[in-house]
């Protein structure tokens, strides 16, 4: 079947076409040059409209905050758009233990492949590599070559292991990287170190504008986008998307608890929430988390009972100005609600709370 899109304003940067009004022909679903039998085409009037290739949004927080099944259910309810999801690794205890104990790259590849298969993901994403986990140990910043306070692995090592796994597994999309120090003045050096850490393997730097800041000027805050652009152009293994700034009231949703915590007081109104993963209660014993093989005892500050081998319970903590309220999700009776404003104690003492260091 021959179709003509008539009178549209065509945008096609790949062929140097920038807003020309022209006809576009398709035969059996494929774009073709103007044919000799154009007179017999089925014509659709698109005058006054833009004709362009389908846009690709590489990164949207649309759902899946809890588990893969919920993600796919939400995506199935989103019509028209072709979509997929990324599995987030780089901060889970099992993966960090693999690195801490010196497991082989093949073992890491097997784990990454298993995660992708179980979650039906199309790619792997890492958010603040190692930093989300370090936050749970009361650390508020983790640079590329700074060791995790417990597992003693660096974000550089995490990036290298995941980028290698994604490459070895033949995943089409390179490791999707939300780097360290998002939004922090001077983080251009962190981003350049992240590019170096990939060692030539494919990576995609997401919302790069928030990782392209210098520390010059009266406020010690400046743009360093020129240095980032030069680095991306010099490293063909690196791709990036700019990210979007919302000029108005908005809500942020991110797994980067360090960045969320750091910026919580800048919001108006000052409200923030955090979803913690806590273990199901163990009726047989109030046992501590399983330490890594070379650890003699529980890590300082670690919440008791955080055993990666147990099923998770979810606790949602909300901060509303100076009022802390805490309520529990699954296993509410075991975790137990805590009166507003009360301090630690109880079975899961040591879990960081919004508004508290």
Tell me the backbone φ, ψ of residue 109, rounded to 5 degrees: -60, -40
pLDDT tens by residue, 247-269? 778 788 888 889 988 888 887 77
More confident residue, 44 or 29: 44
The overall average pLDDT reported for the chain is: 79
Residue 28 has pLDDT above 60, yes or no: yes
- Which token pair is 126? 């890492």
Residue 340 has pLDDT above 70, yes or no: no
SS3 87: strand
Find residue 71's DSSP bridge partners: none
pLDDT tens by residue, 173-230? 999 999 999 999 999 999 999 999 999 999 999 999 999 999 999 999 999 999 999 9
More confident residue, 73 or 176: 176
Q: Where are the beta strands (DSSP E) in the chain?
A: 2-12, 17-27, 30-32, 42-45, 50-52, 86-88, 123-127, 175-178, 203-205, 213-214, 222-223, 238-240, 271-279, 312-320, 323-328
Average pLDDT over residues 238-244: 90
Residue 11 has pLDDT above 80, yes or no: yes
Average pLDDT over residues 314-339: 40
Residue percentage of the chain with pLDDT more than 70: 75
pLDDT tens by residue, 127-167? 999 999 999 999 999 999 999 999 999 999 999 999 999 99
More confident residue, 282 or 327: 282
More confident residue, 77 or 281: 77
Helix 93-100 vs helix 105-119: angle between axes, to the nearest 10 degrees?
A: 170
Residue 332 has pLDDT above 90, yes or no: no
Q: Give CA–CA dist 337/87, Å, rounded.
A: 31
pLDDT tens by residue, 267-276? 777 777 766 5
SS (H, E, C) the chain: CEEEEEEEEEEEHHHCEEEEEEEEEEECCEEECCCCCHHHCEEEECCCCEEECCCCCCCCCCCCCCCHHHHHHHHHCCCCCCCCCEEECCCCHHHHHHHHCCCCHHHHHHHHHHHHHHHCCCEEEEECCCHHHHHCCCCCCCCCCCCCCCCCCCHHHHHHHHHHHHHHCCCCCCEEEECCCCCCCCCHHHHHHHHHHCCCCCEEECCHHHHCEECCCCCCCEECHHHHHHHHHHCCCEEECCCCCCCCCCCCCCCCHHHHHHHHHHCCCCEEEEEEEEECCCCCCCCCCCCCCCCCCCCCCCCCCCCCCCCEEEEEEEEECCEEEEEECCCHHHHCCECCCCCCCCCCCCCCCCCCC
The whole-number pLDDT of residue 156 equals 98
Burial class (CB in 10 A: 0-12, 13-18, 19+), 177: buried
pTM over 0.75: no
More confident residue, 329 or 17: 17
């Amino acid at each position: 079947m021959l179709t003509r899109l008539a009178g549209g304003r065509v945008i096609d940067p790949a062929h140097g076409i920038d807003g020309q009004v022209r006809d576009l022909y398709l035969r059996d679903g494929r774009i073709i040059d103007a044919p000799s039998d154009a007179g017999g085409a089925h014509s659709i009037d698109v005058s006054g409209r833009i004709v362009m290739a389908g846009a690709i949004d590489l990164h949207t927080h649309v759902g899946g905050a809890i588990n893969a099944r919920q993600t796919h259910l939400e995506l199935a309810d989103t019509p028209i758009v072709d979509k997929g999801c990324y599995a987030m690794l780089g901060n889970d205890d099992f993966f960090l233990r693999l690195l801490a104990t010196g497991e082989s790259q093949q073992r890491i590849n097997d784990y990454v492949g298993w995660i992708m298969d179980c979650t039906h993901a199309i790619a792997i994403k890492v958010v603040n590599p190692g930093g989300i986990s370090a936050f749970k140990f009361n650390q508020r910043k983790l640079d590329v070559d700074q060791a995790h306070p417990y597992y003693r692995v660096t974000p550089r090592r995490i990036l290298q292991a995941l980028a290698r796994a994604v490459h070895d597994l033949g995943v089409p999309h390179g490791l999707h990287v939300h780097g360290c120090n998002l939004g922090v003045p001077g983080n251009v050096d962190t981003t350049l170190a992240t590019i170096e850490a990939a060692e030539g393997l494919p990576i995609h730097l997401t919302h790069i504008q928030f990782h392209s800041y210098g520390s010059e000027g009266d406020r010690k805050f400046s743009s360093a986008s020129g240095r980032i652009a030069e680095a991306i152009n010099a490293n063909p293994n690196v791709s990036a998307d700019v990210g979007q700034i919302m000029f108005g009231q908005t809500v942020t949703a991110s797994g980067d608890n360090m960045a969320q915590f750091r910026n919580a007081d800048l919001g108006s109104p000052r409200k923030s929430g955090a979803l913690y993963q806590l273990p199901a209660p163990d009726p047989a014993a109030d046992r501590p988390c399983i330490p890594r093989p070379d650890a003699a005892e529980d890590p300082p500050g670690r919440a008791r009972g955080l055993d990666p081998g147990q099923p998770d319970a979810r606790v949602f903590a909300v901060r509303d100005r100076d009022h802390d309220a805490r309520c529990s999700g699954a296993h509410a009776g075991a975790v137990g609600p805590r009166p507003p404003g009360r301090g630690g104690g109880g079975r899961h003492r040591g879990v960081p709370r919004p508004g508290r260091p």
